[in-house]
Structure 1
Amino acid sequence: MSVSLVTVAHVNSPSDLHPRLLVTDLDNTLWDWFAAWHGSFSAMLDRLIEISGVPAEVLEPQIRAVHQARGTAEYSFLLDEVPALVEASGTVPPSERYDEALHQLHSRRRAMTRLYPGVLETLTVLKEAGVAVAAYTESLAFWTEWRIRWTGLDELIDRLYSAPDHDLPNGLTREQVRTKADDEYGLQHTKHLPLPRGVMKPNAEILRSILDDCGVQPWQAVYVGDSLMKDIAMAQSVGVLDVHAKYGQAHEKAEYELLRRVTHWSDEDVEREKELSLRPEVRPTVVLERGFAELLPVFGLDRVSA
């Protein structure tokens, strides 16, 4: 099925026969998280190696240790907690000494964080049709909220379910680390509902709680995500119509090796991923081959290609 830009001439509310709720994964489903992470992190790492003189084989395992301690590969205070950088920077905090590297990280992140084609248009159509949209992600709060704001999805997503953010460095408060106005943080329209810390997909109980929270039965919902073992298997276990965002799979890319070397995953998480990969093949009910816009017919909504 090939779909380009989506426009809808007449949108009516879905009938009782059509789903009322879309539950969507975020990373590599609505946007290419991996491309943005790799492009920004690798740019920062290359600049760090260049200006600090600390080689990659020293930096990468120390970075991984920090990421594991903080539970994320997007830790905002990373440089100040990497021992080799602390030693190399002398009396100046690494975040100040190596500000050029952080500039590379932030500028690349902004440039490369963008929605997949058709996402904005499709979510707009669903919103106009009266379909509620909930997002469920393993990513932590701060950067998830930033991506939703940056991509213009605040308000198009009704509810966000994510883990709380990582702890701040010892001795710092949220007020001390924030440099912008309060309205430039968080979400203005999307309701953010925190999940318990450490919850990982597939988790049928969390998905059931999302359905209960949104007031729908499994047959009234659709779940879309890029991971067969995490997203699709979870949806099937709950009886929700599963839709595979095949276009978003990233784990087969060669660049993925950098994420593995600096990942926040614990050894137990890595073993869990291996165990999931050995399970019987999951066959999705609906497959989005080329883009998110192919989702509209699932809701009984017309589409035309521009």
Structure 2
Amino acid sequence: MLTTVVFDADETLLDLRPAVTGGLVAVLEQMRRLTPAAAEVSLADLESDWHTVFGARTSAPVVEIRRAALARSLARAGLDGHLDDLAALFFTRRFALTRPYPDVPPALTALRRRWTLGYATNGNSRAERCGLADEFAFEIYAHDGGLPKKPDPEFYAAVVAAAGVPAGQIAYVGDSLVHDVLGPQRAGLRGVWLNRHGLPRPPDVRPDAEVSSLDDLPDALLELQDQAEFTDVNG
């Protein structure tokens, strides 16, 4: 029996990409105000710096990765001494623009009638700063108290502990097959893939359920629960 539904944050509940782009645009505009040398720096350069640092420091806290990426970008224009100010500008703009997808509020309202809801993310999208304050019974953030990121088993163990129910009663919902389907499944949770972009599913991955929109999640969870109850009854 499912009792708890736990959500990933970025690209699952939160439309992060426009917010990040907006933050980077604000940084680039300020760089160009500070020095003519920044005219040679592009938005693509700032995005590339993120990917370079993220690839080298995947397990680090997101804030550290972003600051290191911004440091690379600022160095392109000789603005190394402005990291603190421009990092603050980025995060202010990024959080001001981060909002839930349109299907999120009605889905959470519908789901809450039947299940306990949780929020568990590798990132720094604090629910209260992203339009999701007071929506969840519990929130889990990687690196709080030294907690490692998904797909480390310790992350899912923290989810189970916060939920206070057996792992098999928890459905974890997210956009990443590795972090939100395979990782939870290996820890005994149900993994539900939110495939907003209609991506092909690898043949060796079998989510417990797959939806293209959170509008479809309540019915998918009810079907998953019925399947689990049938298995329990019939062995």
Give the TM-score, by structure 1 length. Answer: 0.55
Counterpart AA for 2:216? E
Change (3 A) 1:240 1:82: same
CA distance, structure 1, for counterparts of residue 219 and residue 47 of structure 2: 46
Deviation at 1:245, TM superposition (A): 0.9
Deviation at 1:47, TM superposition (A): 4.5
SS in 2 for 1:247: coil
Query: Partner of 2:110 in structure 1?
Result: 125
Change (3 A) 1:36 1:154: same
Is the Cα contact below 8 Å between 1:134 and 1:159 reproduced in 2? yes
Is the Cα contact below 8 Å between 1:23 and 1:133 reproduced in 2? yes
2:174 is the alignment partner of 1:220: no
Percent same amino acid at aligned positions?
Answer: 22
Is the Cα contact below 8 Å between 2:99 and 2:131 reproduced in 1? no
Gapped regions of structure 2 (runs ≥ 5): 224-235
Give the alignment of 1:105-254 within 5 angstroms: 106-107=92-93, 109-111=95-97, 113-129=98-114, 131-140=115-124, 144-145=125-126, 148-164=127-143, 194-196=144-146, 199-247=148-196
Change (3 A) 1:281 1:49: farther
Q: Greater relative contact order (Cα 8 A, min sep 6): structure 1 or 2?
A: 1
Gapped regions of structure 1 (runs ≥ 5): 1-16, 165-193, 251-278, 302-306
SS in 2 for 1:154: coil
Q: Could you give the per-residue CA deviations for residues 262-302 of structure 1, whole angstroms, max 9, x where no partner exists?
A: xxxxxxxxxxxxxxxxx97423221111x21211124439x
RMSD: 4.0
Structure with more of its chain in helix, by fraction: 2
Deviation at 1:222, TM superposition (A): 0.6
Deviation at 1:240, TM superposition (A): 1.9
2:82 is the alignment partner of 1:94: yes
Counterpart AA for 1:152? G
2:210 is the alignment partner of 1:287: yes
SS in 2 for 1:41: helix
Counterpart AA for 1:33? L
User: Size of the alignment, in residue pairs?
Assistant: 212
Change (3 A) 1:200 1:150: closer
